[in-house]
Structure 1
Amino acid sequence: MFGKPRSPEDAIKVAPDDGAKGVKPNERIEVSVPDGRLESVKVVRAQDAQEFDVPGRIDEDGMTWRPLDPGALPLAAKYSVDAVALDGHGRRSARHTTFTTYVPDERFIGYVTPENRATVGTGMIVSLEFNREISDRAAVQRAIRVTSKPAVDIAPHWFGDTRLDFRPEKYWKPGTKVTVDLDLRDVQAAPGVYGLQDKSFTFTVGRSQVSLVDAAAHTMEVRRDGEVLSTVPITAGAPKTTTYNGRMVVAEMYEVTRMNGATVGFTDDDGKGEYDIKDVPHAIRLTTSGTFLHGNYWSPNAPGNTNVSHGCVGLRDVKGGSSATPAGWFFDRTLIGDVVEVVNSDDKKVAPDNGLSGWNMEWKDWKKAG
Structure 2
Amino acid sequence: MITLFTSRTGLVATTGVLGGVLAVTALAGTSNAATSGNDAGNQPKPQASASQAGTQEASDARIDITPGQGAYGVAINGPVSVTVSKGKLTKVTMTAIATGAETPGTLSADGTSWKPNGRLERATRYQITAEAEDAKGRSVTGNATITTVSPNDFIGHLSPQDGSTVGVGMPVTVNFDKAIGDSDKAAVESEIHVSSSSGQQVVGHWLNAHRLDFRPEKYWKPRSTVTVTLNRHGIQKTVTFRIGRSQISTVDAKTKQMTVVRDGKTIKTIPISSGSTEHPTYNGQMVISEKFEHVHMNGASVGLTEKDGKPSYDIKAVPHAMRLTDSGTFIHGNYWAADSVFGKVNTSHGCVGLKDDRDGGDGKQPAAWFFDQSMIGDVVIVKNSDDKTRLAPDNGLSDWNMPWKEWVAGSPTA
TM-score by length of 1: 0.68
- The percent identity for this pair of structures is 51
Range that drifts further, 310-319 or 131-140: 131-140
Distance in structure 2 (CA, Å) of the matches to 1:339 and 1:202: 21
Matched, 1:227 2:265: yes
Q: Partner of 2:335 in structure 1?
A: 297
The yes-or-no answer on 1:75 pairing with 2:30 is: yes
1:214 equivalent in alignment to 2:252: yes
Counterpart residue number, 1:363: 404
Aligned position for 2:386? 346
Equivalent residue letter for 1:356: L
* 1:69-90 residue CA offsets vs partner (Å, 9 max, x unmatched): xxx9723589xxxxxxxxxxxx
Query: 374, 393, 403: which one pairs with 1:334?
Result: 374
Q: 2:150 is matched with which residue? A: 105
Q: Which amino acid aligns with 1:360?
A: N
Checking the alignment, whether the CA contact within 8 Å between 1:144 and 1:184 is kept in structure 2 is no
The secondary structure found in structure 2 opposite 1:367 is helix
List per-residue Cα deviations over 1:308-354 (Å, max 9, x = no partner).
Answer: 00000000000011211000000000011110000000003311111
Structure 1 residues 286, 73: closer, same or farther in 2, change over 3 A? Answer: closer
Equivalent position amino acid for 2:311 in 1: G
Structure 1 residues 2-13: aligned runs within 5 Å:
none
Matched, 1:176 2:224: yes
Find the counterpart in structure 2 of residue 134 from structure 1: 180
The CA distance in 1 between the partners of 2:289 and 2:237, in whole Å, is: 23
Deviation at 1:110, TM superposition (A): 1.3
The aligned amino acid for 1:145 is H
Aligned to 1:315: 354
Change (3 A) 1:289 1:184: farther
The yes-or-no answer on 1:145 pairing with 2:186 is no
* TM-aligned CA distance change 1:77 to 1:297, over 3 Å: closer
SS of residue in 1 equivalent to 2:337:
coil
Do structure 1's residue 244 and structure 2's residue 282 form an aligned pair? yes
Alignment partner, residue 209 of structure 2? 161
User: By how many angstroms is 1:160 displaced?
Assistant: 1.4
CA distance in 2, matches of 1:244, 1:256: 23
CA distance in 1, matches of 2:164, 2:308: 43
Match for residue 255 of structure 1?
293
Contact 1:297–1:317 at 8 Å: present in 2 too?
yes
* Letter paired with 1:340: V
Deviation sequence 1:14-43 (CA, Å, 0-9, x none): xxxxxxxxxx98xxxxxxxxxxxxxxxxxx
1:115 to 161, 173, 193: 161
1:79-90 map, 5 Å: none
Larger radius of gyration: 1
**What displacement does 1:180 show?**
1.4
8 Å CA contact 1:124–1:336 kept in 2: the answer is yes
Q: Which moved more, 1:286-295 or 1:131-140?
A: 131-140
2:171 paired residue number: 125
TM-score in terms of structure 2 length: 0.61
Q: Which amino acid aligns with 1:164?
A: L
Separation in 2 of the partners of 1:138 and 1:324?
Answer: 50
Q: Kindly report the root-mean-square deviation, in angstroms, between the aligned alpha carbons of the 2 structures.
A: 2.5
| 1:288-325 per-position Cα deviation (integer Å, ceiling 9, x unaligned) | 10100000000133211100000000000000112110
Equivalent-residue separation in structure 2 for 1:308 and 1:131 (angstroms): 38
Q: Which amino acid aligns with 2:367?
A: A
Q: Could you tell me which residue of structure 1 aligns to residue 345 of structure 2? A: 306
Task: Give the aligned partner of residue 20 of structure 1.
Answer: none
Provide closer, same or farther for how the CA distance between residues 198 and 319 of structure 1 changes in structure 2, counting only shifts above 3 A.
farther
Task: Give the 4+ runs in structure 1 shifted more than 4 A.
Answer: none
- Alignment deviations for residues 91-112 of structure 1 (CA, whole Å, 9 cap, x no partner): xxxxxxxxxxx99723322111
Distance 1:143 1:319, change over 3 A: same
Classify 1:184/1:233 alpha carbon distance in 2 versus 1 (closer, same or farther; 3 Å). Answer: farther
Unaligned runs of 5+ in 1: 1-23, 26-46, 49-71, 79-101, 186-196
The AA in structure 2 aligned to 1:74 is G
User: Displacement of 1:184 after TM fit?
Assistant: 6.8
* Superposition map of 1:25-104 within 5 A: 74-75=29-30
In the TM superposition, what is the alpha-carbon distance from 1:199 to its structure 2 partner?
Answer: 3.8
